[in-house]
Chain A
Amino acid sequence: TTHTPEFLGLDGSNGLWSESDGADDVVVGVLDTGVWPESRSFGDEGMKPVPSHWKGECESGTRFNASHCNKKLIGARFFCSGYEAAYGRVNESKEFRSPRDQDGHGTHTASTAAGSFVADASLQGYARGTARGMAPFARVAVYKVCWQGGCFSSDILAGMDHAVADGVNVLSMSLGGGVVPYYRDGIAVGAFTAMRKGIFVSCSAGNAGPDPMSLANVAPWITTVGAGTLDRDFPASIVLGNRVRYGGVSLYSGSGLPRGKLLPLIYAADASNGNKSSNLCLANTLDERLVKGKIVLCDRGISARVDKGNVVKSAGGAGMILANMAANGEELVADSHLLPAAAVGRRVGDAIRRYVKASRKARATIEFEGTVLGVKPSPVVAAFSSRGPSSMTPQILKPDVIGPGVNILAAWTGVAGPSEMKADTRRVDFNIISGTSMSCPHVSGVAALLKGAQPGWSPAAIRSALMTTAYTVDNTGAPLRDVATGNDSTPFDHGAGHVDPQRALTPGLVYDMGVQDYVGFLCALSYTPQQIRLLVKSNLTCTKKARLRSPGNLNYPSFSVVFSSHHDHFNRSATVVKYTRTVTNVGQGASKYRVAVSAPPTVKITVKPTTLSFQSVNQKRSYTVTFIAKRAAPRLTAAASFGSITWTDGLHKVRSPVAIMW
């Protein structure tokens, strides 16, 4: 990517960068749509020999053989037996039956995590700069498990099975499904073993925001990554016939609209061929006679944004303005449309809709203004980023963190256009796309750097470092905002906050965990021994010692409290919740930490003890947090309050977000 290293503070040669020694012994496994090996992002110039622990292979198939691998791309496998069992044999004239990436998604995510340096990268001039992954010297191993018909759990499990055996150190998975019990969820089942073997697993949180409880990949042994914006934008101005100018975004790079000339503007709802959904510019809904030569205002929703542009283009439209609805708020996601087009937020969309309605001869033009940096405020939580609380285990706060996931430039396949549509015959080396799929590999790459710098840290320790050092204010100094509402975002939106790689290198304290902790968590969920065995893969019983008092008692770096009007099954009043945590000193030897609590007015939070003293590195100290509801459940059933618990020694700030629900 061309700007996220700077945005994440990874552009210097000190700190995490030098401490990790480039993380060149670290292998990032990416389960996705495969890889385009000819991309310069997978060049291996100057790279050291393949790590000796590596057991992976490069498998042959359609237009792919072992010679496509090198010292950067050290593994490439494909898994299609589950897919073929459902759909029949892969049609090799339409889809590569090999690790080669048809789609572009896998090439994009792999290069984001660990792509090599590529000078002068851009998408047709947009976002120009030197592209690189977050861990540019780490190795990449791709496991193609997603095909045109989806990603089948039998293939995903096979990919994970091989990734573990091959010796990956980090697993990056930008995919997900519905929420099911952990023992039935292939990703959670596979990730448990990976975690047990010391592999850090990061997964995308999903793009089902801003609806609450819309998260995927919520198992506590997985790091769940939401998406935020960068301080980069691709502005386009919409100039109306009344001379009012509005801001939008666009990645359009063609010949543009006639200079200095306003074209007729029509709202798609007024250009229907009889279909009621024409406002959304769905296929076969526009009347060509009404659209031809005009700029068409389309509402966002239902179909892909680029598809709407194609519908307008096919109907003879000269351009498109794509206006957000309430669900997307002011979020501006730029697309590489096939016709001159710009996206605008809801407020601007409403203003343009009003203008069109009020004007008999509505006119407009779009002016494309390239790339700008330094946008404020940023980061902002993306509207599409899935939100907590976790519907599976509300006592575990998810997502864990957010990372850059909006308008991300990274490498692309050689067989698909930047809009990903069949009709798009353009071919580009890099593409700009958005999603939690894009934020996940950022965190995977940062985790690879941390793994390089701190090889002894467990996956839980790495996640803890990422979470407790994450920041919650934007580049204006104000609390992080949610672009869907314009309001401050909450830990249900951003988790612990936005990742801060340099600070994650020196977290001071970590909330460490191992298999036994997770077993205690599963026991607290009242899973049967057989269900636990499906995850843990060994015989275990939930002894009194092993069982946590509640799932929220897991040694997690965040707190999620659920008050209820009932007594819990230990007959304790559920208006008092008590959690214990144990922190491990990973800073300098002797240190003394003091606690600072930020509590919502409705809840009393007490921490005991209030100071933690350490004499040596790796020493552990425990503390207890008591949450007491000051009043009965608020009338609103979805009511939630938020706070934080921060331990400081003057040098480090170890911050845990707190979410409280009734």
Chain B
Amino acid sequence: DGEAAQTYIVHMSKSFMPSSFESPDRWYSSLVESQSQSQSVLYNYAQVLHGFAVKLTLAQAKALEKTEGVLAVHPETVYELH
């Protein structure tokens, strides 16, 4: 269902960050806003990856994947305790 939203992990290339943004976080927020007015970044990642987590529809995720600076958009997975 293209309308059902789920969380995606978005991997970014920081070297593509426009100089107009003060920080990667602002850049990520603007990218999300360009896809969806109703969604906001869940997490910004700075250490283990460059990127963020956001809830999007499949169509929005596919559109985001084509944006310059986006390396990959992976759907969230659920892990379990052992």
Contact = CB atoms under 8 A, between A and B. Distances in A.
B17 interface: no
A105 interface: yes
A28 interface: no
A153 B79 contact: yes
B16 to A, nearest CB: 12
- Interface band, chain A: 35 or more
B71 A157 contact: no
Contact of A86 (B7, B43, B72, B80): B7
Interface string B1-28: 0000011010101000000000000000
B53 A158 contact: yes
Q: Which of B6, B7, B77, B82: most chain A CB closer than 10 A?
A: B82
Interface string A154-192: 101110111011000000001111101001111101101
Given A86-B7, A157-B53, A161-B48, A151 B43 contact: no
B79 A150 contact: yes
Contacts of A177: 77-80
A175 B82 contact: yes
Contacts of B55: 85
A436 interface: yes
A154 B47 contact: no
Interface in B63-79: 71-72, 74, 76-79
A86 B11 CA distance: 20
A154 B7 contact: yes
A462 to B, nearest CB: 20
A440 interface: yes
Given A152-B76, A157-B49, A189-B49, A176 B7 contact: no
A165 B72 contact: no
Given A154-B7, A157-B43, A187 B79 contact: yes
A82 interface: yes
B80 A85 contact: no
B80 A176 contact: yes
Contacts of B76: 82, 86, 152-154
Contacts of A153: 9, 76-79
A127 to B, nearest CB: 21
Given A82-B42, A157-B9, A537 B49 contact: yes
B82 A206 contact: yes
A534 B71 contact: yes
A105 B48 CA distance: 25
A32 B81 contact: yes
Chain A, interface SS category: helix
A152 B48 contact: no
A209 to B, nearest CB: 11
Given A174-B82, A175-B81, A187-B79, A157 B45 contact: yes
Interface in A41-100: 79, 81-82, 85-86
B48 A154 contact: no
Contacts of B45: 157-158, 161
A503 B81 CA distance: 30
B48 A180 contact: no
Contact of B53 (A33, A81, A164, A174): A81
A166 B52 CA distance: 19
A158 B77 CA distance: 14
A437 interface: yes
A348 B66 CA distance: 61
A528 B64 CA distance: 20
Nearest to A145: B79
A162 B6 CA distance: 23
A180 B9 CA distance: 15
Contacts of A613: none
Given A85-B7, A85-B55, A534-B11, A435 B48 contact: no
Contacts of B49: 157, 161, 189-190, 193, 534, 537
Q: Which of B7, B13, B72, B79: most chain A CB closer than 10 A?
A: B79
Contacts of B48: 157, 160-161, 164, 189-190, 192-194
Contacts of B53: 81-82, 154, 157-158
Contacts of A184: 74, 77
A520 to B, nearest CB: 21
A343 to B, nearest CB: 20
Contacts of A150: 78-80
A190 B49 CA distance: 7
A151 B82 contact: no
Contacts of A152: 7, 76-79
Nearest to A225: B82
Interface string B39-57: 0001101111110010100
Contacts of B7: 82, 85-86, 152, 154
A157 B7 CA distance: 13
Contacts of A174: 81-82
B42 A151 contact: no
27 contacts: A81-B42, A81-B53, A82-B7, A86-B6, A86-B76, A151-B79, A154-B43, A154-B53, A157-B43, A157-B45, A157-B53, A158-B53, A161-B45, A161-B46, A161-B47, A174-B81, A177-B80, A183-B72, A186-B9, A186-B77, A190-B49, A193-B47, A194-B48, A205-B82, A533-B71, A534-B11, A534-B72
Given A175-B80, A178-B77, 18 more contacts: A81-B42, A82-B43, A151-B80, A152-B7, A152-B76, A154-B76, A157-B48, A161-B46, A161-B47, A165-B46, A175-B81, A177-B80, A184-B74, A185-B77, A186-B9, A437-B82, A440-B82, A534-B71
